[in-house]
Structure 1
Amino acid sequence: MASEAVHRPMTHGRSTPLMVALRILVALGLAVDAYVHFVLAPNYQFAYPDGIGGGNLFRIQAALAVVVAIYVLVRGSKLSFALAALVALSAFAAVVLSTFIQLPQVGPIPAMYEPIWFFEKSVSAVAEGIAGVLAIVGFFLAPRKDKRLR
């Protein structure tokens, strides 16, 4: 009977079409987030120079988004999706909060308040929100580590 068994290639949950699509979409959302933050950074450094400066804060956010986007694309693991959700949703929360609430300076993080929406800010917020939600979906759909493969 063993010889009658049909050989099926082992499919890993990380390489299903749905998981590949989630990885690409999350990475794309983080890439948009990074691009907008890199482009806007110089203006925010002048507008919010206290502490590390708004521009440097934007550059840090952009760099984290790039690193995590690459990590999600390469690994597609629960950890990569969790980090993607953290980076995307923290940026989303910051942009929404700083639009409606005058955020005080916290340690080296400058006080920020910008009660207007403009194109780049809106695009970034949408990309961050979508990437964050998709990263959460990816986290729950990503397979657990198979201990047999160790």
Structure 2
Amino acid sequence: MALPEGRRLIHLVLRLLAAAGLAVNAAVHARLADRYDAVGDSLTQGTLFRAEAAAASLAVVLVLLWRHRSGDLFAWLVSAAGFGALLLYRYVDVGSLGPLPNMHEPVWFGDKTLAVWAEGISVVALTVLLLGRRRRRIRASDAAPPPE
């Protein structure tokens, strides 16, 4: 089922916003990773930052090129997890959790602010995309004739 022209434009803008937010997230985490290699023992915060950068980079590709619900969901999970973790470790001193190091950092600085905005924008754009697909699918199933 093809989308009307206006909705295609909205979807394109949402995808570009999500991808841009994910790309900024990936760049910030990749840039900061080496500064956090000393935080943690076997699993360092730098390693987690590199994993976040890799996951966000993959999510950019999925959002822009694959454009499938499961790719959008993966991208949403990457953005939401990053957003939630950033806010959690900013405001709560969780301490070490198993192999995860204590990542509490109770200050805002330029890259952290940029990352939280980028992740938040991605979460919102991807939420709208995912919910819009669900609504279209529900409407399409309501319009379908009942099986005989």
- Residues 79 and 139 of structure 1 are in contact (CA less than 8 Å); yes or no, is this contact kept in structure 2? no
Identity of aligned residues (%): 35
CA distance in 2, matches of 1:50, 1:96: 23
Amino acid at match of 2:108: W
**Aligned mate of 1:97, from 82, 88, 91:** 88
The match for 1:24 is 16
1:12 to partner: Cα distance: 4.8
1:104 to partner: Cα distance: 2.2
Question: Are 1:137 and 2:128 an aligned pair?
Answer: yes
CA distance in 2, matches of 1:18, 1:50: 45
Structure 1: unaligned runs, 5 residues or longer: 1-9
Structure 2: unaligned runs, 5 residues or longer: 141-148
1:18-56 Cα distance to aligned partner (Å, 9 max, x none)? 11111111011000000000010011112x132310000
Runs of 4+ in 1 over 4 A off after TM superposition: none
TM-score, normalised with respect to structure 1: 0.82
| Change in CA separation of 1:141 and 1:75 when aligned onto 2, cut-off 3 Å | farther
- Residues 40 and 100 of structure 2 are in contact (CA less than 8 Å); yes or no, is this contact kept in structure 1? no
CA RMSD of aligned residues (A): 1.8
Larger Rg: 1
CA distance in 1, matches of 2:42, 2:58: 24
Structure 2 counterparts to residues 1-150 of structure 1, below 5 A: 11-12=2-3, 16-46=8-38, 48-142=39-133, 144=137
CA distance in 2, matches of 1:28, 1:78: 18
